[in-house]
Amino acid sequence: MATAQINPTRMELTRLKKKLSTAIRGHKLLKDKRDELMRRFLDMARQNRELREKVEKAVIEANSKFVLASASMTPQALSSAMLASKQEVYLDVSKRNVMSVDIPVFTVKTRTPDSNDIYCYGLAFTSADLDTAVTSLSDVLPDLLKLAEIEKSCQLLSAEIEKTRRRVNALEHVMIPETREKIRFITMKLDENERATQTRLMKVKDMVLSNAHGY
Amino acid sequence: MYRVAVIGDRDSIYGFASLGLDVFFAENSKEALPVFKDLANGEYAVIYITEQLAEGLAAEIEKYSYLPTPAIILIPGLRGNTGQGIANVKKSVEKAVGSDIIFND
């Protein structure tokens, strides 16, 4: 046992007592943090799931529309239609602090404000299917970006929860019991010393008395 | 100012180009790896990658899951969908909670 290395002194005892009270306070705080993180995480994970299912369905749908469009156009016409896009999407990334985890917040900016700029091709040489396909994809885009934000947040939160949980467990099951054990050991040792001194004194007193008065 | 990238096979993702996202074509994971590394260290905040390609890049993608950016999001492509996207959400729930309590219905 680790107790073999402890100095049974009052100074060590004070130090350990201080350590214990810090550990208990830290444990309480971390536990609160973990619970709150968990609450937010579960909210977000539910949202994440719903959004992902929605987005996946929409993307698959859009994909099938693109297949349809590509069927009625030559590959060359299709590539040239898609070659020069007018629209550009930029993201402004800011951070939101959730229980000391920085989660990203995306603000979407487009190069041109006109939503029709996604049709970057002339209408003469492309099929109408391409228009519907592009439209359906552009409808998904806000959700796709939202998904990116939420999914990333979920990943970051889950990592933080795991870390916090480990800390809570380490404090609860290792640090705090060990310190308590050490404190107990030192108290016992000090008490034992105290009793030893007491008996020694009584013994000495007896010897002194018997020497002096012959009791 | 960050940008948004999409990696995937040509047929699955060419439509994203018209929306103003940057598309990078790769037919298999081997081709996608250098592209992905470049993008992840570049000025991209979000990288969408098809599930088919992501399968071969799982280790690489994992590395970025704890950094604030980029967010690497799996999307279904035309073929080779593995369901990994939803599985990843599941995995993060399992990691946080210890068991899956969101999907078991």
What fold, for A24-175?
Answer: Helix Hairpins (1.10.287)
pLDDT greater at residue A92 or residue A168: A168
Considering the domain boundaries, does residue B90 fall inside one? no
The residue-averaged pLDDT of B16-43 equals: 85
Residue B27: domain span: 3-80
> Cα-flanking dihedrals φ and ψ of residue A9, to 5°?
-120, 165
Contact A119, A81 (CB under 8 A): no
Nearest by CB: A148 against B17, B73, B78: B73
Which of A85, A94, A108, A164 best tests the B interface by mutation, with the highest count of B CBs <10 A? A85
Q: How many domains does chain B have?
A: 1
Considering the domain boundaries, does residue B40 fall inside one? yes
pLDDT in tens, A151-206: 999 999 999 999 999 999 999 999 999 999 999 999 999 999 999 999 999 999 99
CA distances from A199 to A196, A211, A214 (A): 5, 18, 21
Considering the domain boundaries, does residue B67 fall inside one? yes
> Cα-flanking dihedrals φ and ψ of residue B10, to 5°?
-50, -50
Phi-psi region of B83 (alpha: psi -120 to 50; beta: other; left: phi over 0): left
Chain B residues with beta carbon closer than 8 angstroms to that of A42: 97, 101-102
Chain A residues with beta carbon closer than 8 angstroms to that of B15: 62-63, 66, 82, 133-134, 137
Percent of chain A with pLDDT over 70: 93
Say what the pLDDT of residue A2 is: 53
Name the percent of chain B in helix, strand, coil, to the closest 5: 45, 20, 30
Q: What is the pTM of this model?
A: 0.83
CA distances from A19 to A9, A136, A181, A188, B100 (A): 15, 61, 13, 19, 36
Contact A46, A191 (CB under 8 A): no
Q: Are B11 and A110 in contact (CB < 8 Å)?
A: no
Say what the pLDDT of residue A202 is: 95
pLDDT at A67 > cutoff 60: yes
pLDDT greater at residue A84 or residue B61: B61
Please tell me the distance from the alpha carbon of residue A30 to that of residue A19, in angstroms, as a whole number: 16
Q: What CATH code is carried by the domain that includes residue B76?
A: 3.40.50.10580
ipTM over 0.90: no
Considering the domain boundaries, does residue B55 fall inside one? yes
Considering the domain boundaries, does residue B22 fall inside one? yes
Please tell me the distance from the alpha carbon of residue A173 to that of residue A106, in angstroms, as a whole number: 40
Considering the domain boundaries, does residue B101 fall inside one? no
Say what the pLDDT of residue B39 is: 87
A38 touching chain B per CB within 8 A? yes
Strands B2-8 and B44-50 come out as: parallel
Domain segments of chain A as ranges: 24-175
Name the percent of chain A in helix, strand, coil, to the closest 5: 75, 10, 15
Considering the domain boundaries, does residue B35 fall inside one? yes
Please tell me the distance from the alpha carbon of residue A111 to that of residue A107, in angstroms, as a whole number: 13
Considering the domain boundaries, does residue B26 fall inside one? yes
